[in-house]
Structure 1
């Protein structure tokens, strides 16, 4: 399943029996009532990417 953004996952998980791979900080912050399991060593690597807007580079709030 594809979600509009990763922060939508907690709302989705509340209404399902799905398993979800999330950034650790988000999982610990929002999913305290769920079981947090470690990713097994044999699991495929997940690439993390960050898109940055050069026009907002000097904005302290954006940084």
Structure 2
């Protein structure tokens, strides 16, 4: 998510940033590592705070349907 000092990694519902990075790419890399470690969903936001994309690294509540 955007932050006054660049970009932040923030847990859903959290009040404070877990980490702050100078660039979106750095924040995304930090967030992805945390998400993989904690097996959570990672949401990447645009500057306007809308969700750009989501990646699941654990228990996906909406897994893709089997296309057999």
Q: TM-score, normalised by structure 2?
A: 0.26
Higher helix share: 1
Q: TM-score, normalised by structure 1?
A: 0.28
Higher strand share: 2
